[in-house]
């Protein structure tokens, strides 16, 4: 087993390499991302349309807005910079969590597992602010669990993260009070309590509670009448996300087994059984060879986002119980992890395997997205006027697996190299809302896609 230092450095290098590659391939333009791009260049300002998620939106758009302010008009580069902001924010937060957990193999394993089982199985829809909310929850939990005294640095980080969380995502309706309670526990268990540091911790508590009320308000008064119903329906379809299912399945085998036979955490038998799910996860892109209906799908990642939040909450509770040194029947696995020298190392190794097992499907989906953008770009550049979706390669597999009907016209608008380039129409049977009438695309001025 490699050293903890190697593991955390290698993990940081890997997640940043993926963030840069995902940005280079403009993966942030998937679905809503292309609409964000068009709105930003059209207004030449931040696209801040939803107050309950305002802070994560603004921070994620800083790279593209910096470029727009400096006069950049290349939509290709701006799409990459938007992707960089969207991927960079949660990646940065997870990096801070990895750095803080590097000296504790159990906590380091939890952070890596969160990245593998939740971030890389639900983040193809990177424009979703839940990616940042979940990263904040893990960072705060690990930061609190590893503190042996109240420090000004911790207070500042907690205050900053809680402020960002205050307007980030609806999941703070339960993550907010959970993190607030853990912060209060920190104040109660540690002394001395310097005035400024204690005040910063209390400020963080206040922001976390405020985030809960903001989230409640966003649920009571949703962005659209269909929002809550759509959220519920997508949550019940979380099983459609093969990557999430297999990563969660591996973790579930480990947790359930450890609850009944905690001493096995120091052995290898339960890890062999749990690793079956990881082998299937790593091999899942092979299902695309037969072009069958069961395969890793980018669009299915979105439907697991809500369940992913519950997994993150469970991880936060586990971190809290581990740090608190609980000793009861449910906490027996944590007790084994604290006193058995082999158990933490095996858990960390398993978390690393989980992260590696997610890579093949992530690489496969990203390459598929690259080819989809190439197909869209070729259609837009090779035609003029309006183009029927059914007459293009987008209507056939594998491209159709990445198509979201309402955003086709927006994606094609963003990829025009001149005003006469084509706009792709939504499918004929599609009658739902679209951002603009394809016959009257919005004027985005001097902004064009340049290869």
Summarize the confidence of residues 189-197 as an average pLDDT.
Answer: 94
> What percentage of the chain has pLDDT greater than the value 90?
84
Residue 43 lies in a domain: yes
Q: What total number of domains does the chain contain?
A: 1
Nearest partner of 200 among 154, 165, 135, judged by Cα: 154
Backbone angles phi, psi at 62, to 5 degrees: -60, -45
- How far is the C-alpha of 320 from the C-alpha of 206, rounded, in Å? 19
pLDDT in tens, 246-275: 999 999 999 999 999 999 999 999 999 999
Q: Say if residue 347's pLDDT is above 80.
A: yes
- Is residue 216 domain-resident? yes
| pTM of the predicted protein model | 0.95
So what's the pLDDT on residue 219? 87
Does residue 384 fall inside a structural domain? no
Domain-located, residue 421: no
Radius of gyration of the chain from its Cα atoms, rounded to whole angstroms = 23
Backbone angles phi, psi at 424, to 5 degrees: -85, 130
Alpha helices in 190-295 (DSSP H): 195-220, 227-236, 242-260, 269-283
- What are φ and ψ of residue 102, in 5° steps? -60, -25
pLDDT score, position 267: 92
Judge whether 243 and 121 are in contact, CB under 8 Å: yes
* 393 part of a folded domain: no
Predicted local confidence at residue 413, as pLDDT? 95
Q: Using CA atoms, how far apart are residues 408 and 422, in angstroms rounded to an integer?
A: 11
Q: By mean pLDDT, which of 21-35, 61-75, 325-339, 378-392 is the weakest? A: 325-339
> Is the pLDDT at 1 greater than 80, yes or no?
no
What's the pLDDT score for residue 238?
82
pLDDT in tens, 401-410: 999 999 999 9
What average pLDDT is seen over the chain?
A: 93
d(CA 370, CA 23): 11
Establish if 405 belongs to a structural domain.
Answer: no
Domain for residue 217, yes or no? yes
Least confident of 26-35, 159-168, 321-330: 321-330
Query: Is residue 225's pLDDT more than 70?
Result: no
Q: Is residue 256 part of a domain?
A: yes
Per-residue pLDDT band at 447 (split at 50, 70, 90): very high
- Which pLDDT score, from 0 to 100, does residue 50 have? 87
Largest CA distance in the chain: 71
Domain holding 285, by residue range, is 4-363
Q: What is the per-residue pLDDT across 197-211, written as a single tens digit (0 to 9) for each?
A: 999 999 999 999 999
Q: Which of 19-33, 119-133, 290-304 is least confident?
A: 290-304
- pLDDT per position as a tens digit, 373-391: 999 999 999 998 999 999 9
Q: What is the per-residue pLDDT across 83-101, written as a single tens digit (0 to 9) for each?
A: 999 999 999 999 999 999 9
pLDDT band at 448 (very low <50, low <70, confident <90, very high): very high
- Average pLDDT on 98-106 reads 96
Provide mean pLDDT across the span 325-346: 88
pLDDT at 227 (0 to 100): 67
Summarize the confidence of residues 146-163 as an average pLDDT.
96
CB atoms within 10 A of CB 151: 14
Model confidence over 286-335: pLDDT tens digits?
A: 998 877 778 899 999 988 999 999 999 999 999 999 999 888 877 899 99
Q: In which element (H, E) is residue 424 found?
A: strand 423-424
Q: Which residue has the tokens 């597992």?
A: 113
Helix axes 130-146, 105-114, angle to 10 degrees: 180
């Amino acid at each position: 087993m490699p050293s903890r230092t190697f593991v955390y450095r290698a993990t940081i290098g890997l997640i940043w390499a993926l963030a840069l590659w995902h940005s280079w391939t403009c993966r942030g333009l998937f679905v809503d991302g292309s609409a964000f791009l068009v709105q930003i260049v059209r207004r030449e300002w931040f696209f801040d349309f939803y107050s309950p998620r305002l802070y994560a939106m603004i921070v994620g758009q800083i790279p593209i807005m910096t470029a727009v302010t400096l006069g950049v008009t290349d939509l290709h580069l701006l799409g990459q910079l938007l992707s960089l902001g969207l991927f960079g924010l949660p990646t940065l937060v997870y990096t801070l969590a990895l750095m803080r957990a590097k000296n504790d193999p159990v906590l380091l394993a939890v952070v890596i597992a969160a990245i593998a089982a939740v971030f890389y199985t639900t983040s193809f829809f990177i424009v979703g602010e839940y990616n940042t909310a979940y990263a904040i929850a893990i960072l705060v939990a690990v930061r609190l669990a590893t503190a042996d005294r109240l420090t000004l640095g911790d207070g500042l980080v907690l205050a900053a993260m809680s402020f960002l969380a205050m307007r980030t995502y609806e999941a703070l309706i339960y993550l907010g009070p959970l993190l607030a309670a853990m912060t209060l526990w920190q104040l109660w268990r540690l002394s001395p309590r310097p005035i400024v540091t204690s005040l910063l911790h209390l400020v963080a508590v206040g922001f976390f509670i405020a985030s809960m009320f903001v989230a409640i308000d966003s649920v009571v008064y949703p962005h659209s009448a269909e929002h809550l119903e759509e959220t519920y329906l997508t949550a019940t379809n979380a099983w459609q996300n093969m990557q999430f299912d297999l990563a969660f399945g591996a973790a579930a085998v480990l947790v359930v087994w450890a609850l009944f036979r905690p001493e096995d955490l120091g052995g290898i038998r339960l890890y062999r059984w749990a690793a079956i799910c990881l082998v299937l996860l790593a091999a899942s892109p092979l299902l695309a060879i037969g072009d069958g209906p069961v395969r890793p799908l980018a669009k299915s990642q979105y439907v697991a986002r809500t369940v992913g939040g519950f997994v993150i909450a469970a991880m936060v509770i586990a971190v809290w119980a581990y740090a608190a040194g609980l000793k009861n029947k449910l906490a027996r696995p944590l007790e084994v992890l604290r006193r058995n020298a082999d158990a933490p190392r095996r858990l960390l190794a398993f978390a690393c395997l989980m992260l590696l097992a997610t890579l093949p499907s992530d690489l496969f989906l990203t390459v598929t997205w690259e080819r989809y953008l190439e197909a869209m770009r070729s259609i837009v550049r090779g035609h003029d006027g309006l183009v029927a979706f059914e007459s293009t390669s987008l209507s056939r597999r594998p491209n159709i697996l990445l198509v979201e009907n309402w955003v086709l016209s927006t994606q094609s608008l963003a990829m025009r190299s001149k005003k006469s380039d084509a706009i792709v129409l939504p499918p004929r049977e599609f009658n739902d809302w679209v951002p603009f009438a394809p016959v009257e695309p919005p004027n985005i001025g001097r902004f064009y896609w340049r290869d």
